[in-house]
A and B are shown apart, each in its own frame.
Chain A
Amino acid sequence: MKHSQPPTPISSLDERREFADFAGKLPDQIIVDDATRERLALARANALSTASKTRWLPWLAAASVFFAVSWLVLQPYSAVEQTAELAMMAELEDPNIDLELIDNLEFYEWLSELEG
């Protein structure tokens, strides 16, 4: 057998509605003085300015990360290429290079390989 709650009397419902009206108006009893209004206005200004500043932060962070990654990716390739090119050019264009010394070094290297 299903048990059901007895219906709430109408007088009680009216009383509850009256109480809800009364309780709903209680915050209106609070007087907000000028000092509090000023603090609320200041809080509002701070909230608006903070929000304006922080709106650009994610974009700024994303841009920084993008540039950092791009630099890291491109840096080693271009550095190696440029260093190799410079070394070759220096070797070809250096007028003071001692060709006899290089020949001697190559000869001793060949000799050590034979003995070795």
Chain B
Amino acid sequence: MNKDSLNQFLQSQEVQAFKIARAAVGSHEDALDIVQDAMLKLCKYYADKPECEWPPLFYRILNNRIMDHFRKNKQHRNVVIEDVEANQASEVPDSYAPEGFRSLLGAQQLTRLTDALSALPARQQEAFLLRCWEGQSTASTADSMGCTEGSVKTHYSRALNALRQALQDLWP
């Protein structure tokens, strides 16, 4: 294992991975746990793989951990959505100051998107994460998801439609 190369690779990816995880799960601590777990798994099981294989492997692990998080929290989803709706109904109070966001609008948009994303079917979640946030091609996403490119296009398109509906009033 070339420890320095692996260290450099992880260093170059950790912030972006954290942002994706944070945006997907909506929790700072959970996002840190997910990224830490992804790094640990990559080091433990795939460190001996060629360096060119690290990026897809790392993002596949990250994606799987995010999907695990969605599955675990599925039973709480309705409660969370009710809470979010209650917050939105109160038109966001002045004291609402989400940590780590560039703007209040961005925070609202992302909160709404996170909730809508957690409500999507698993395959649509996966397609959205891989294509939109991890920037993978249709072919690579199909490979990761173990389906055809046509299926990826369908899942991704449905995910975008659902999310666009959810952000209708917040999307410029």
Stretch at the interface among B40-48, B74-82, B118-126, B144-152: B40-48
Asked whether B107 is an interface residue with its Cβ less than 8 Å from the other chain, the reply is yes
With beta carbons under 8 angstroms apart, the residue of A16, A28, A47, A55 that contacts B10 is A47
Q: Which residues on the A side are within 8 Å of B19 (C-beta)? A: 27-28, 30, 32
A19-B164, A40-B14, A47-B40 given as contacts; is B35 within 8 A of A31 (CB)? no
A32-B19, A33-B100 given as contacts; is B113 within 8 A of A43 (CB)? no
A20-B160, A32-B18, A51-B44 given as contacts; is B101 within 8 A of A43 (CB)? no
Interface residues on A, range: 20 to 34
B107 touches A46 (CB 8 A): no
Asked whether B87 is an interface residue with its Cβ less than 8 Å from the other chain, the reply is no
A24 touches B133 (CB 8 A): yes
A20-B132, A22-B171, A39-B32 given as contacts; is B7 within 8 A of A44 (CB)? yes
A27 touches B133 (CB 8 A): yes
B43 touches A47 (CB 8 A): yes
In the assembled complex, the CB of A12 is this many whole angstroms from the nearest CB of chain B, namely: 9
Asked whether B138 is an interface residue with its Cβ less than 8 Å from the other chain, the reply is no
Q: What does the 1/0 interface line of A13-43 toward B look like (CB < 8 Å)?
A: 0011001101110111111110011011101
B39 touches A44 (CB 8 A): yes
Interface SS majority for chain B = helix
B100 touches A43 (CB 8 A): no
Asked whether A11 is an interface residue with its Cβ less than 8 Å from the other chain, the reply is no
Asked whether A112 is an interface residue with its Cβ less than 8 Å from the other chain, the reply is no
Alpha-carbon gap, A97 to B171, bound state (A): 107
Stretch at the interface among B20-28, B49-57, B63-71, B88-96: B20-28
A26-B23, A26-B110, A47-B40 given as contacts; is B101 within 8 A of A36 (CB)? no
In the assembled complex, the CB of A37 is this many whole angstroms from the nearest CB of chain B, namely: 7
B110 touches A44 (CB 8 A): no
Asked whether A48 is an interface residue with its Cβ less than 8 Å from the other chain, the reply is yes
Closest to B9 in A: A44
Asked whether A70 is an interface residue with its Cβ less than 8 Å from the other chain, the reply is no
Q: Which residues on the A side are within 8 Å of B44 (C-beta)? A: 47, 50-51, 54
Alpha-carbon gap, A48 to B32, bound state (A): 16
Q: What are 14 of the A-B contact pairs (CB < 8 Å)?
A: A19-B171, A23-B113, A23-B128, A26-B113, A30-B18, A30-B100, A31-B102, A32-B100, A40-B15, A40-B35, A43-B35, A50-B44, A51-B40, A52-B3
